Structure 1
Amino acid sequence: MVDMKSSVDVRPSASRVRTKIDWLDSKHSFSFGPHYDPANTHHGLLLVNNDDIVRPGAGFETHPHRDMEIVTWVLQGSLVHQDSSGHSGVIYPGLAQRMSAGRGILHSEKNDTVGVTEPVHFVQMWVLPDEAGIDPGYQQLEIEDELLRGGLVPVASGMAEHDSAIRIRNRYAALHVARLAAGSSVQLPDAPYLHVFVARGAVTLEGPGPLAEGDAARLTAVGGARVTADADAEMLVWEMHATIAS
């Protein structure tokens, strides 16, 4: 086994590149679309961590994806999903959703629920599947009750030990979510690659210190640290046991 150099790379919210148009405010943790930086393409297996706000009555029209596991986590409001495999649904806080693009799929995502008057705020995350050309797929699962119990809740996983989560087609990756009351804490998984994203509130990560809303930390060979909420917070943690070859 190759020894890995331990590191914690904190990325402040303001360092993210941004796409802002009349109906969309999107902040990208990694290179995305025209915002390309060869030094910021991924961490571990995570290629995309987009923090999106979409105004009422608008959204992403039908567009294609291929060979990608796409997990969507809604923080506020509701998002309507439709795809070319016949799946449709409304995603809201506490509902985990995964779309496997596989050999090719078309889908749309819109803030057009009847009578909606508020923006929808969600985080969309992409990881590569274990193999290309699989059948497209869709899964959603209500996990609000699990979140209310506290701690890190596995939301989307390809790892065998996470049988309560929705499944992704990558056996080396798992997304955990924690809703933390001020003063409570959780211990991060012991994994060679971790991506910690503060979706709301503020926390303190053992070692680097405070992380505000929108901040992220990319940990390499630094598993098991504790995270404590400085205020009520919601945190998304990717546990990854492999990385994309450079």
Structure 2
Amino acid sequence: MEKIFHPANQRGYNDIGWLKANFSFSFGPYYDPEKIHFGALRVLNDDIIGRGRGFGAHPHDNMEIITIVLDGALEHKDSMGNVGIIKAGEVQVMSAGTGITHSEYNPLRDKDTSSLQIWLFPKEQNIKPRYDQKSFIDALKLNELTMLISPDQNEATLWINQDATFSMGEFETGKTINYDMKTAGNGAYIFLLEGSVEIAGAILNKRDALGVYDTSSVTIETVAHSRLLILEVPM
């Protein structure tokens, strides 16, 4: 097993008032030649978006874009005519493909929104743009990993144009999570949202991340009550 440790306090950071962003990989004003991507995972931005503020209309192409709202809400509008609110516990996927324009705003006037924006390099280039979102509020159970995104089209998960699988779970102290790669040759980028865990001798605390590859499985031990996100991606 090969490992890459990304401590939370070594992420890039940018504060422009209404947006406070932490960058796990090089993005915008932040550049680190050692943190360009982890396999197909190109962007993992941990954003706090001020009330009533957001990103104006801007274009994307040939990128798989996933938004996970952790707290608050985001209003989405795009050039395909999709308009909707993404709330905590919901996930949005957007295949930019041949090109799409969209905007995202925090529609709330009384609280900031915490969200993750994740970009993956696509499996196929220049596909027809598409948008989807799904609530996982009822699916997320304590001490269980819930699959959010998969390369298979089914009712339980959101489909993505890549051989990638995203799973999330909240676990009590002293739990063991055995994660098997769903696609041979993939790696897993484990992002700790809350708590403390031990993985292959490494201790992760809030917002730390560990990438593992050249392995078919990984075992995670919870040192404290924890919430984590596992991004399994082609290497």
TM-score (norm. length: structure 2): 0.92
**Which AA in structure 2 matches 1:105?**
I
Residue 201 (structure 2) pairs with residue 216 (structure 1): no
8 A contact 1:155–1:165 mirrored in 2:
yes
**Which AA in structure 2 matches 1:183?**
G
Deviates more, 1:93-102 or 1:226-235: 226-235
Deviates more, 1:14-23 or 1:32-41: 32-41
Q: For structure 2, which runs of at least 5 residues remain unmatched after alignment?
A: none
**Where in structure 2 are the equivalents of 1:5-16 lying within 5 Å?**
6-16=1-11
Deviates more, 1:220-229 or 1:51-60: 220-229
TM-score (norm. length: structure 1): 0.88
Residue 65 (structure 2) pairs with residue 63 (structure 1): no
Partner of 2:35: 40
Which of residues 189, 196, 218 in structure 2 aligns to 1:202? 196
Q: For structure 1, which runs of at least 5 residues remain unmatched after alignment?
A: 1-5
Partner of 2:104: 109
Shift of residue 230 of structure 1? 2.7
Shift of residue 54 of structure 1? 0.7
**Which AA in structure 1 matches 2:74?**
L
Q: Percent of pairs identical after alignment?
A: 34
8 A contact 2:14–2:29 mirrored in 1:
no
Q: Matches of 2:10 and 2:54 in 1, distance apart?
A: 25
Deviates more, 1:228-237 or 1:6-15: 228-237
**Where is the strand percentage greater, Structure 1 or Structure 2?**
2
Residue 133 (structure 2) pairs with residue 137 (structure 1): no
1:42-92: CA deviation from partner (whole Å, max 9, x where unpaired): 112100011000111111111111111111111111111111111121111
Partner of 1:155: 148
Q: Matches of 1:121 and 1:182 in 2, distance apart?
A: 25
Which of residues 167, 170, 174 in structure 2 aligns to 1:176? 167
User: How many pairs are equivalent?
Assistant: 232
| Cα RMSD for the two superposed structures | 1.7
Residue 82 (structure 2) pairs with residue 87 (structure 1): yes
Check 1:230–1:92 CA distance in 2 against 1; reply closer, same or farther (3 A cut): farther
| Counterpart secondary structure, 1:14 | helix
